[in-house]
Structure 1
Amino acid sequence: MTTVQVNGMEIGYDRVGDGPPVVFLHGAAYDARSWRPQLDDLADEFTVVAWDEPGAGRSSDLPKSFGPADYAHCLAAVVQSLRLGPAHIAGLSWGGTLALEFYRQHADLVRTLILADTYAGWKGSLPAQEVRARVEGAQRMLDAPSEEFDPTLPGLFAGEPPAAYASLLNAMDAAVRPETMRAQLLLMAETDQRDLLPTVSVPTLLLWGEQDVRSPLTVARQFQEAIPRAELVVIPEAGHVSNLERARDFNRAVRAFCRLHS
């Protein structure tokens, strides 16, 4: 693990391989370990980085009143510490929302964007009724007694969670910090990045699970229409966490896109 210091916080990340940098941003309730198949597979051609965002994994706790721009500034410190210039920035779900905010704040550090099964914030991508239902469900989950707390969000996979990653998923669940998750989900409910999408000028790959029910293909089409020249790749038989459920297809698409634009 490598670390950087940002405003008194320690931010941890994994780095493997050599070549153009590809930086992966995990979803809510996950950490850098969720990118294990990408770290293992892509390091033969790229410098592959997976961070633990503030409040997750090996990084410091999330400060109070921490907003999307604060996450972006922490990520900037990670990218700059690589000393490899602008990076391919790849985010899944909440991580994709952070990738967009990073582009807003630090476009000079972005070579391309890879947005997987994500949102322009819940407010920017989902009907208001659905946002309310998710907030209410999250509140019930977070208000449960500590011994009953289960951070698993519904609809993450098209089928059963991949057996190969069962122990990994359990370990990440056990490491979730409830206050981090509370802050993330509230930020998702409040965030609307639709104004940003038409301004994206770097090559953009939209990578979506065909059976994603959390961020359905209708959201992918919204992104495709709004971001100039965005490319959409749909992964068959994959749900929301497409990088684990269909890792080979996910990695193939990332490799081809980054190779083309490196």
Structure 2
Amino acid sequence: MSDDVTVRGLNIAYERAGSGPSVALAHGFVGDARSTWNSQIEALTDEFTVIAWDAPGAGGSSDPPEGFGMNDYADCFAALLRTLGVERSHLVGLSFGGALVLAAFHRHPELASSLSLVSGYAGWRGSLGAEDAEQRLTRSFHASRLPPDEFAATMAPSMFSPSAAGESVAAFIDSLKAVRPSGFRAMARASLDDQSHVLPEIDVPTLLLYADHDIRAPVAIGEAIHAAVGGSELVVLPGPGHVSPVEAPDDVTRELRRFLHSIEYTA
């Protein structure tokens, strides 16, 4: 069910479907809830209550105010869940969303039953280093000033493997043309924030799901996070690129379901 609610002064659009333990999905700095997580929303609702938001600046949600950082995104995400009556949830984030759920765990640890980072970062500074992170921010700002078609053509090749195809991939690429430049720049700025300090704090089950053709968050980033998070599980998917929930939806859903079962049905 698509809906919206006012959270921390912002209109936040979200999808909610299914019943059972809560699973909250956070998309990356392009796309939105449906273009990113459509397959997982449809598949997981047989066992879980799935909530997927449009982050401030994306989809049907308001643009954030100036200076809105990753801590603000994390607080807004947590406030949305609490507004919806969710006191505890499995938190799943793709790319930017991975850094977001790390920040949410740091600031609201009581909210997280588990963490799943899908092609995620400990922030760009935390996973790429300061110089590469600043270069990525500069490239993102440049891309944000392109016409919609050029923006999509610039971003799409780094989102998928060269062999990516199908309606879902095409729909995601098409969604890039609807990007809101100010919202995209806000998420890019927030992506810069270093979240590596959170990794040693993590004391909930953690899945790290990476893809072997990902050029934005290569497997080495997942390996570094795996080394820093005690008891975490690293899974590498063969074939897809960065936006694996779209390019390899069945594989991502399978691994998420297996991981969630290992928590919910062995506790």
The structural deviation recorded for 1:188 is 1.9
SS at match of 1:196: helix
Identity of aligned residues (%): 39
The corresponding residue for 1:107 is 109
The corresponding residue for 2:27 is 26
5 Å matches for 1:180-191? 180-189=183-192, 191=193
Moved over 3 A (4+): 143-151
| Cα distance in 2 between the residues matched to 1:182 and 1:153 | 17
| Cα distance in 1 between the residues matched to 2:22 and 2:218 | 29
Provide, for residues 82-106 of structure 1, a one-character-per-residue CA deviation record: whole Å limited to 9, x for no partner: 3343100000000001010110111
Q: Is the 8 A contact 2:57 2:180 kept in 1?
A: yes
Q: Is the 8 A contact 1:21 1:48 kept in 2?
A: yes
5 Å matches for 1:85-234? 85-144=87-146, 148-150=150-152, 152=155, 154-189=157-192, 191-234=193-236
| AA of the residue aligned to 1:159 | P
The corresponding residue for 2:10 is 9
Q: Is the 8 A contact 2:63 2:182 kept in 1?
A: no
Runs of 5+ consecutive residues of structure 1 not aligned to the other structure: none
| AA of the residue aligned to 1:83 | G
The corresponding residue for 1:41 is 43
TM-score with structure 2 setting the length: 0.91
| Cα distance in 2 between the residues matched to 1:171 and 1:101 | 30
The corresponding residue for 1:248 is 250
The structural deviation recorded for 1:38 is 0.2
The structural deviation recorded for 1:162 is 2.8
| AA of the residue aligned to 2:92 | A
Q: Is the 8 A contact 1:205 1:230 kept in 2?
A: yes
Alignment RMSD (CA, Å): 1.8
| AA of the residue aligned to 2:138 | E
**Counterparts in 2 of 1:145 and 1:117: CA distance versus 1, 3 Å:** closer
